[in-house]
Amino acid sequence: MRNHKISLKEIVSYAKKYGFIFPTSEIYDGINAIYDYGPYGIHLKNNIKEYWWRSMIQINENIIGLDTSILMHPKIWKASGHAERFKEIFLYNKSKNYSYRLDFLLEKIFKPNSKGDNYLCKKLCKIKTKKNNLKKRIIQYIADNIVLKKYKKILVLVKKFQDKWNYIYEYKLMFQIDFKKQTIYLRPETAQGIFTNFLNVQNSSKLKIPFGIAQIGKVFRNEIMARQFIFRMREFEQMEMQFFIHHKDEDKWFKYWKNKRLIWHLTIGLGEKKYRYFEHEQLAHYAKQAYDIQFNFPFGFKELEGIHSRRNFDLKKHEKYSKKKLRVFDKENQRYYIPYIIETSVGIDRIFLAILSSSLKMEVLKQKTKRTVLKINPSLAPVKAAIFPLIQDKRLIAYAKYIFNSLKTSFLLTYEENDSIGKRYRRQDAIGTPICVTIDFKTLKDKCVTIRYRDSMLQKRVLIKNLKKEIKQETSINKLLTKFLMLESTK
């Protein structure tokens, strides 16, 4: 069996052909970087959400869920700093008719995790600028944020930007809506809905610090550099958990969640080598410590999930802007305090892309036949099992339908009777169905069916009465949760 490396282009066309992801509004030529999830994509997405949700809410007695609105009071975004600071700086190059996002450009050139060089920073600060605040700010940004070894390159860049970059501009990332003569925003993160409900949740649940609030929901960012398929979209979905702690425990909980979130990803089975940590040196305006879990996508290692210590930045700001106290009582010291927060934040669409890009295989089999197979974790597979009568014979069809009906309340199944059995296997391989069940003439006598496994293509006979157990054992989300708990106890 041979494999070839799958390109992003192949993933995009696979996703459309097999009903995972479609470009939105395609008949009107679409909208860049917005996508629709197709009939199989939606099940995969829901299964990812279910696994995350249960691994947060069901396994941890001190984490509870929330579902807050997308449209919120505009003051929230002033308090959080997003209204002012959630924007990107771009350099426009007229000859190339192209805008470069400054942080990406710098990251590409300088690989900013090398250790500092004060000499260069000083030199950069001395560079004279005309009375152009934005230019000044960019140079300051470079000086403040980039620790350099390869400082010669930065001088080249600055020179270039003085000569060649035609203008520099800022781009706001929040979408705005007019509402009753004021501007409100589509939320760019789910976190603020958690912070602003923090006391409601605490008062109604009586949870004591440390405790967490988890939320899954849509968010919107007007990304100018939207590309790389569903990696960077303008409308996407986040799964966030905000963990409220006493400040003395910051390091302990930060390490705990950094470790735990990587373990969660590893259970999906895409291979340990595909993941790595990346420590931020350039922190978001709210963060005091930040690590990314990066994944090796077809275009290289990129952020999959962020783990941040937001400290009490957000709650403090909301206290100030709302003039409401957002504090908990510290029994030991007999005083109220604003808790610190450790955040874990991951985009479902990026997990989806990680899974597709690592699990999609084009295999050349022994007899030089080819198969497209999605070797996805069976617990996340869109369809759990396919039920086939071997041929279109009345008795076999009736038996297969009887089995389908008796199992359909337990699993998402599919039934097929058209085409040869080989072609039906191929179709199910391509959408990642872990088990195919075939009813043949022997079944009528021995009450057994043939089970065929997607990855190994091995077959075995199973008694019909054991079929439910067999499918459940292979495909339930509980299996992933058990693996997660096991791995957690060993790492």
d(CA 125, CA 457): 64
Handedness of CA 138, 144, 148, 152 (dihedral sign): positive
Strands (E), 299-416: 300-311, 328-330, 335-337, 340-347, 360-364, 370-374, 385-389, 413-415
**Cβ at position 305, least distance to ligand ATP in Å:** 5
**Nearer of residues 279 and 330 to ligand ATP, judged by Cβ:** 279
Q: What are phi and psi of 467, to 5 degrees?
A: -65, -45
**Nearer of residues 297 and 399 to ligand ATP, judged by Cβ:** 297
Contact 279, 309 (CB under 8 A): no
**Cβ at position 221, least distance to ligand ATP in Å:** 5
**Nearer of residues 47 and 428 to ligand ATP, judged by Cβ:** 47
The continuous run of DSSP H or E covering 435 comes out as: strand 435-439
Strand 413-415 to 385-389 pairing: parallel
Buried b (16+ CB within 10 A) or exposed e, 452-479: bebeeeeeeebebeebeebbeebbbbeb
**Nearer of residues 232 and 361 to ligand ATP, judged by Cβ:** 232
**Nearer of residues 256 and 278 to ligand ATP, judged by Cβ:** 278
**Cβ at position 49, least distance to ligand ATP in Å:** 14
d(CA 201, CA 47): 26
**Cβ at position 151, least distance to ligand ATP in Å:** 25
Strand 328-330 to 335-337 pairing: antiparallel
**Cβ at position 147, least distance to ligand ATP in Å:** 19
**Nearer of residues 33 and 407 to ligand ATP, judged by Cβ:** 33
The continuous run of DSSP H or E covering 467 comes out as: helix 467-475
Name the token pair of 354: 């990680």
CA proximity to 77, closest of 151, 218, 188, 182: 188
Strands (E), 191-284: 211-220, 235-245, 275-279
**Nearer of residues 221 and 265 to ligand ATP, judged by Cβ:** 221
**Nearer of residues 49 and 136 to ligand ATP, judged by Cβ:** 49
- Chain residues that interact with ligand ATP, rule: CB under 6 A: 221, 223, 232-233, 236, 238, 303-306, 345-347, 349-350
**Cβ at position 182, least distance to ligand ATP in Å:** 25
**Cβ at position 29, least distance to ligand ATP in Å:** 21
What residues pair up with 346 in beta bridges, in sequence order?
239, 305
**Nearer of residues 83 and 467 to ligand ATP, judged by Cβ:** 83
**Cβ at position 236, least distance to ligand ATP in Å:** 4
**Nearer of residues 192 and 238 to ligand ATP, judged by Cβ:** 238
| Number of CB atoms found within 10 A of residue 221's CB | 22
**Cβ at position 351, least distance to ligand ATP in Å:** 8
What 8-state DSSP symbol labels residue 127? S
**Cβ at position 284, least distance to ligand ATP in Å:** 7
CA proximity to 232, closest of 249, 240, 220: 220
State which residue has the least CB distance to ligand ATP.
347
